[in-house]
Structure 1
Amino acid sequence: MSGRPGRVEPAGIISACDRYVHMERQQLIALFFAFLMVSSMVAWGVSLL
């Protein structure tokens, strides 16, 4: 029963988790840069007032 074919390989799970973490990191970096741009534009607008 231990050598049953069709069980999920751990390597596949690890690669899927790696891909998910990489996507999450890219999304966080994009959000961080967007926040930086917005905050700098707000500071620029406040300095104009």
Structure 2
Amino acid sequence: MLREAFYGIRRFDAFQESLGIARNTLNDRLRRLVDEGRASAGTVEVDARA
């Protein structure tokens, strides 16, 4: 997961697609990384024109 973040993946669905893991597993792992201070959580604004 850290490799994907290093290479520029920022969206949950992109992490899921790249890693091929279940949403609940990805959520748990991302939450752990944030809790340990190894990653930061944020929100992504969606462009309504897209």
Could you tell me the TM-score, scaled by structure 1's length?
0.34
* Structure possessing the higher relative contact order (Cα contacts under 8 Å, 6 or more residues apart): 2
Please tell me whether Structure 1 or Structure 2 has the larger radius of gyration of its CA atoms.
1
Could you tell me the TM-score, scaled by structure 2's length?
0.33
Greater helix proportion: 1
